Amino acid sequence: MVAGRIATDRMVTYREAMRAAIREAMQADDRVFLMGEDVGRYGGAFGVSLGLLEEFGPERIRDTPLSEAAFVGAGIGAALAGMRPIVEVMTVNFSLLALDQILNTAASLHHMSGGQLSVPIVIRMTTGGGRQLAAQHSHSLEGFFAHIPGLRVIAPATVADARWMLAPALADPDPVVIFEHGSLYNASEEITEGSGAVEPCRAIDEAVVRRPGDDVTIVTQGGCLPMCLQAAQDLQSAGVSAEVVDLRTLRPLDDATVLASVRRTHRAVVVDEGWRTMGLTAEVAARIAEACFFDLDAPVQRVASAEVPFPYAGHLERAAMPSAEAVIRAARSAMDPGAALAPDGTVHRG
């Protein structure tokens, strides 16, 4: 395989696609470097940077001390000095240790300097549950970071987006946070190398319809996309045509694509792995209600994680997380808002 290129005669995993994107960026621009805990000799906690140390050396693949505040701060300084750092935070919960750097510095400096300073840093982090990592390593805080002005927040949900969204993120003069759901790293698909654009050539801040439908719109992002596509397939077997919209970028949010879909289907289900209260589902549902109130034939339904710290036990973790069955129940409720739903998703009218 030629360095920086993906062979087209085999399936490519999400982690391989992200690695190829990093490799290509580093080959194209000497200012780009990767830093974070275990990104060098170990190859990254999730294997994304495997082999890059041998290719680019320790000056550009930099293992850091176990201090998120320190190495995110160093990345911000490097960006201010003209470099293009990619900072890997092992899992999203550890980003809280660098929150002052991300919120008070990276996201704020352009405004506080009157436009004189830009912070072109990309911060990658693994998010999500479903891997029995318990309460401290299963967070889905995408909605929290999307709350912060001054950040661009993206969530590649497909192998193609993992491959092509990094380059425009690095070209952004402002800080970009990339959420990579841990359940997606082994996902694979065949992609076309050489197209050189976002899947291929969608703008980085545009949502996309992953599955067309006529009866109900399912809006989701990141690791929930495969589950929602499965739910849509199962609904189709029951005669319900569900359209699935992948947000892709959470800040800025692409209202136009979501609202256009809801205006056609007249029903909406919003799905996110974050907690329901004050979360991403609340924001998207509110925007739909504000803009499409008279287009809706039923209240907007929401599917989110239970309001608990994530359990370690597998059966409890599964019960706490969104599922295809929960999405199906919500879609059926939107289709028949006067009905009561049994636990198995069947509809009963009084």
| Residues present in the chain in total | 350
Question: Whole-angstrom distance between the N-terminal and C-terminal Cα of the chain?
Answer: 63
Instruction: Check if the beta carbon of residue 76 is closer than 8 Å to that of residue 99.
Output: no
- CA torsion sign for 44, 314, 187, 84 is negative
Which member of 16, 24, 68, 142 is catalytic? Answer: 68
Extended beta strands in 92-247, E state: 122-127, 152-154, 176-181, 188-189, 208-211, 216-220, 242-246
Instruction: Check if the beta carbon of residue 98 is closer than 8 Å to that of residue 135.
Output: no
The question of whether 307 is a catalytic residue gets the answer no
Using DSSP's 3-state secondary structure scheme, residue 301 falls into strand
Cα–Cα distance measured from residue 346 to residue 235, given in angstroms and rounded to the nearest whole number: 12
Cα 242 to chain centroid, rounded: 21
Which run of H or of E encompasses 249? strand 249-251
Nearest to 122 by CA among 2, 222, 13, 29: 29
Owner of token pair 């952004």? 172
Cα–Cα distance measured from residue 171 to residue 21, given in angstroms and rounded to the nearest whole number: 13
Residue 131: Cβ within 10 Å count: 14
Cα–Cα distance measured from residue 271 to residue 325, given in angstroms and rounded to the nearest whole number: 12
Cα distances from 171 to residues 3, 121, 167, 207, 350, in angstroms, run 21, 9, 6, 19, 57
3-state helix, strand, coil in the chain (%, to 5): 40, 20, 40
Which member of 137, 139, 181, 317 is catalytic? Answer: 137
Instruction: Check if the beta carbon of residue 221 is closer than 8 Å to that of residue 157.
Output: yes
Residue 157 gets the label, from left (phi > 0), alpha (psi -120 to 50) or beta, of alpha
The question of whether 348 is a catalytic residue gets the answer no
Active site residue ranges: 68, 137
